[in-house]
Structure 1
């Protein structure tokens, strides 16, 4: 591989681009995805790995090195220009949509998968993916099957919604009535839910709501409650104490 890296940039930018290009050694070269059909696996996975590398090298201690990718993806989702990730690389209507889809949304795909199956399972998935598919030509289905085997969860829904549609993840707290909490799914893409509840007495409790079609749960120390079937737009449950505040966490 021969890579041209332009000058006249900051040191951080220079190191960042270098780290990104080095990461391509794994994603697209050793793991030789078709970058015309699945460019988001090439650029997105590389962006995810290089983001974590930069976080460690520069000791940034950022709990979410993919935050900028999330912002880019949210911008695209709200722009009206987004097309599904299954779009062929040279068939995007806008260059901007291609760039954000390949780099940012591809990176979010990986980061959000960590939210779904757990950070440790994601790390194991990436390592197993390399062991199983190095020097081969993996597809999105091949990657998600590795994640399923590692996590023990059903994940075809995740790949379908994230790559084949432009459905968005959007949840809200619809109401809080003493001890009864009602959540609402406003977007079309379902997710398991991590929830923090603050009670009137000042104590807190974390809850985890599995997604029914996952057929299981990620490793968690939170209180696991009844799963949520994706077809139902609302979900209610009761706590043991009166509730003051509810916070939904949808990002790893």
Structure 2
């Protein structure tokens, strides 16, 4: 028995050590040759893919994404949209009916794989909707590289969501998630999520893409154009080359990005400028009265990159392109596809800032969007709120006050879903937005409130420095936040991400004495928090009493929202808390919970007392 126990114990230890093994990530190199038939909205493709297995596992199968297979009647995306009805994404349905159900046969998306080889040997593959499972001719051993070659043709689908032909602003081709893309493999296994409309995930890859298309087209893409003097739009002195079929050849390269996206239209114009200590930026759009506001955007975009670089980490790529295409806004490697029409510069910049910020929180810090959409969308929304506050200053108590208020109003609807849910598995489109974008943003806002804004800024900086060009998770971010602050923050992460419980503190009672005032606070919610209790005196002086929460075990020492007087902690199991302050009624003007308006308290009616 003792020997058996020792063997079992050794096995358990070995498994634990295996789980704590060194971080790894896979790598890929694509070389593609694409020949576009612009009149028929089809193309022929050849691809060579070098895939490196940096994992400790031997791989016997691999998976590819074939996203365009979703754009047809009765696809899984169509079924999902139909089942959600008016509760789903409004861009995918009209009056509660799926737009995919009525796509004509000749405009259905298709990626038809002709053949696929591994190291020159034919391999068997099967298409499972938007996933292609490949049975390898030979295993890919750890720390080894294999080469896949394939030929395929594709039909560019009717533009319903992100990709496709003839978007509503008249852009001919939005080519996103358009090629057979190797799936990500990591400790959690293959990321083989079916595409039903939301997020993506992929390994960091290098791209060398040659595109042949009619010579009167202009292409915008995320990458470096290697032959601008031979094609239309990028060089005023270009001598446009064309073959006997009147097609020009474009060659784009990009290194260490998640995907390669491009768009093509005959009416595009291209404008470019250099950001000091930043990338070369390209605007690729159709110039007309509705897109005239693009002419005002250069100084704002320049300041945007400077704010992002100084506050969130330096952009690592040589170029970035804002391209008119798609249906709203969607981020890709070194570019974004956005609708080009805007009423004013603030509206355009809101879109550019959000999608551009995904270069940090999706491309450079490449979390798994399908599993943790709240990280990339939420952190991006936080960066957007911060930058927009500096580009277009408003009289707000903090850059995120409007988001806190929007969340407060949403909670009253009673349809909130936990942020921990997988991106495509939310049942309500509005709930997805709030659990992912809003609660993800407020995750950082609440952490700033708990640990102090200086600690939050340092956490974001260290997160970037330690995890850029990698695939972090929420656990990785939390590890850094706890290390920087010295606090235990796991309780907050669990409440905020894994549940829909809410914060609701209030002032229960105020008693005035001859030399002091005693306030009784009450926790009416389900999420415990530390409390910054504010006092405004009649001479407009503000004093903030920090009431720590015992679960953090360490209290914040400072915050940019005022000096702190630290009180005894409030145990999370205790319903009420009483504090006495050395001010009389005649000396007081206002008492309140969180003068900074960062706390996501769902009921403000009992948070403030005006002393009369």
Q: 1:31 to 1:203 in 2, by over 3 A?
A: closer
Q: Is the 8 A contact 1:55 1:62 kept in 2?
A: no
Cα offset for 1:72? Answer: 2.5
Distance 2:467 2:338 in 1: 29
Matched residue pairs, number? 252
Larger-Rg structure: 2
Distance 1:34 1:99 in 2: 17
Cα offset for 1:39? Answer: 0.5
1:247 aligns with 2:592: yes
Aligned partner of 1:123 in structure 2 is 457
1:7 aligns with 2:340: yes
TM-score (norm 1): 0.93
Q: Superposed, which structure 2 residues align to 1:45-124 within 5 Å?
A: 45-60=379-394, 62-124=396-458
Aligned partner of 1:215 in structure 2 is 553
Q: 1:201 to 1:41 in 2, by over 3 A?
A: closer
Q: Deviations over 1:1-45 (max 9, x none)?
A: 242211332221111111111111110111111111111111110
After the TM superposition, which of the residue ranges 205-214 and 61-70 deviates more from structure 2?
61-70
SS in 1 for 2:385: helix
Cα offset for 1:232? Answer: 0.7
Larger fraction in helix: 1
Q: Which runs of 5+ in 1 are unaligned?
A: none
Larger fraction in strand: 2
Q: Is the 8 A contact 2:401 2:597 kept in 1?
A: no
TM-score (norm 2): 0.40
Aligned with residue 23 of structure 1, among 347, 357, 378: 357
Q: Is the 8 A contact 2:557 2:564 kept in 1?
A: no
SS in 2 for 1:174: strand
Distance 1:62 1:203 in 2: 19
1:206 aligns with 2:544: yes
RMSD value over aligned CA atoms? 1.9
Relative contact order, CA 8 A, sep 6+: which one is greater? 1
Distance 2:356 2:540 in 1: 48
